Amino acid sequence: MNLTAISAIYRYEMARFFRTLLQSFLSPVISTSLYFVVFGAAIGSRIDQVEGVSYGAFIVPGLVMLSVITQAISNASFGIYFPKFIGTTYELLSAPVSFLEIVTGYVGAAATKSLFIGVVILATSTLFVDMSVAHPLAMVAFLLLTCLSFALMGFIIGIWAKNFEQLQLVPLLIVTPLIFLGGSFYSVSMLPPIWQTIALFNPVLYLISGFRWAFFGLADVPVGVSLMAIALFTGLCMAVIWWIFRTGWRLRV
């Protein structure tokens, strides 16, 4: 294991994050505050409670997931797409590093960045609503797994993308709708029965449900299923990346 290489990639990627720390810190704080103004105050005042939890608090897990997922994807996809775009992947490919080491470095950094943003959002939320976490360990586990799995997905998107448009395509057209339709701002039980069934095909639902369970002890789907779903998703992403490096798809000619 080339640990030096992993740490070199990780530190190099994190250095880029620290160069824009203020930006990285301010944007989630501002967007979270806006969500609380819009959903918490304007809409929340009419909804009051969802399954015994105040609406303001109810949306916190969804909000965290929304940001963590989009940030993990964009950080990881950009992290590998940019070297591809400017041609510096030659160094990565000619270095004595395995795919696992490259992925650990890049995905680790992207996951760390999104974790940081998730924590910032959680902290910001406490300024707006009273919250308690029913299962802190499960909360941390879900958060970490989400950061990791979507950073892996972002890494795949970054390798797949041939231009900046494609880089935006999957997050915009697929991931964002899935997050919004995955119960970020509502409980699936509030949907008409047919949509409840359709919603079960949305993988993000399982994440948000499990994450919300960690906070309030209530879930749309059993927590074990949530955990299985995210483990399955992580495994799938790893398998795809393993195949990419094995074949050199879009990396080596």
Partner 1 sequence: MSAILSIKDLKKSYASGQIALNGVSLDIERGEILALLGPNGAGKTTLISTVCGIVNPTSGSVTVDGHDIKADYRAARSLIGLVPQEVALEPFEKVRNTVRLSRGLFGRPRNDALIERILRRLSLWDKRDSRINELSGGMKRRVLIAKALSHEPRVLFLDEPTAGVDVELRKDMWDIVRELKAEGVTIILTTHYIEEAEAIADRVGVIARGEILLVEDKASLMTRMGKKQIDLQLADPLDSVPEALAGYDLAIRDGHTLVYTYDARGPRTGLTRLLNDLAAAELRLKDVQTRQSSLEEIFVDLVREDAQ
Type of residue at 24 = S
Among 17, 82, 99, 180, binds partner 1 (CB under 8 A): 82
Is 21 a binder of partner 1 (CB under 8 A)? Answer: no
Is 12 one of the binding residues for partner 1 (CB under 8 A)? Answer: yes
Q: What does DSSP assign to residue 50?
A: E
**Contact with partner 1 (CB under 8 A) among 22, 46, 90, 194:** 90
Measured distance CA(229)–CA(207) in Å, rounded = 8
Q: Look up residue 159 and give its two tokens.
A: 């390798």
Nearest to 147 by CA among 179, 182, 110: 110
Q: State the amino acid at position 82 in one-letter form.
A: F
* Choice from 18, 43, 51, 252 touching partner 1 (CB under 8 A): 252
Q: Does 201 bind partner 1 (CB under 8 A)?
A: no
Q: Which of 64, 49, 206, 218 is nearest to 126 (CA)?
A: 64
23 in contact with partner 1 (CB under 8 A): no
Residues 98-157 that bind partner 1 (CB under 8 A): 98
As beta bridge partners, residue 49 has 54
Closest to partner 1 by CB, 102 vs 199, is 102
Q: Given candidates 94, 130, 132, 201, which one binds partner 1 under the rule CB under 8 A?
A: 94
Please name the residues in contact with 208: beta carbons below 8 A apart, sequence gap of 6 or more.
Answer: 61, 62, 65, 179, 182, 183, 184, 220
In the complex, minimum distance from the CB of residue 7 to partner 1, in angstroms, rounded to a whole number: 7
Query: Which range binds partner 1 by CB under 8 A, 5-13, 55-63, 156-164, 166-174?
Result: 5-13
| Among positions 41, 49, 51, 91, the unique one binding partner 1 when judged by CB under 8 A | 91
Which residues in 138-153 are b (16+ Cβ under 10 Å) and which e? bbebbbebbbbbbbbb
Check binding of 162 to partner 1 (CB under 8 A).
no
Contact flag: residue 7 with partner 1 (CB under 8 A): yes
Q: Residue numbers of the site for partner 1 (CB under 8 A)?
A: 2, 4-5, 7-9, 11-12, 15-16, 19, 82-83, 86-88, 90-98, 248, 252-253
